[in-house]
Amino acid sequence: MLAIAPSPGPGPGTDALRLVVRPLEAASFAPFGQVIESRGHPGHPINGGSCLRFHDVAQPLAHADGHGDGRLAISLFAAQAAPWEQPLEEMERHLLGSQAFVPMGQRLPFLVIVAPAGLAGDALRPKHLQAFVSDGLQGINLAPGTWHHPLRALQEGTWLIVDRVATSSQAPVDCEVVDIRAWQLRCQAGFSSRA
């Protein structure tokens, strides 16, 4: 399912809306998915003690509905840096599977802008958005159906992505997109506000 719909503007009384960007932490991010990091997970030595394994730090899903065709795929994204002040453009969601973003090879901070999974696209409003900033070593695993802005890397780099892909060419695309440019939301260090 690929749907692109414009979202209404922010509406009356939202000129002073501020979306606080806070550090990415497991507890505050839990309604939207999982933070992928070693912190908070007991590690145990493997391979003769040459590695420390942090087991099962996230649980990716290929079939959130319990059936259907699809499998997990690992992809790489080469992301360009996006300045904090670049306007937010769209929110998207994937109902059938989770989607994970993990920085590779270097410290790569990124913004995570999310909204609850239970909202219909035409009901999405600025007040529903929450924003987090990673420490550059953390990744995320978005729960199926969670609304999110596309990857907003704050530094250029490579990302490992784990998400669901259809196993049949006849399967619909699992991506619903809402255009939010009319909201004129911009991110700034420490907070996001209407321009």
Q: How remote is the C-alpha of 110 from its chain's centroid?
A: 10
The Cα 100–Cα 94 span in angstroms is 12
The string of pLDDT tens digits covering residues 45-102 is 999 999 999 988 888 888 766 666 788 899 999 999 998 878 899 999 999 999 999 9
Residue 58 DSSP symbol: -
Provide the number of structural domains found in the chain: 1
Evaluate whether 115 touches 128 at the Cβ level (below 8 Å): yes
The values of phi and psi at residue 156, to 5°, are -65, 140
Q: Which helix (H) or strand (E) holds 86?
A: none
pTM of structure: 0.83
Domain that holds residue 140: 2-194
Q: What is the CATH number of the domain that holds 183?
A: 2.60.120.480
Tell me the residue type at 10: P
Average pLDDT (101-115) is: 94
Chain length of the chain = 195
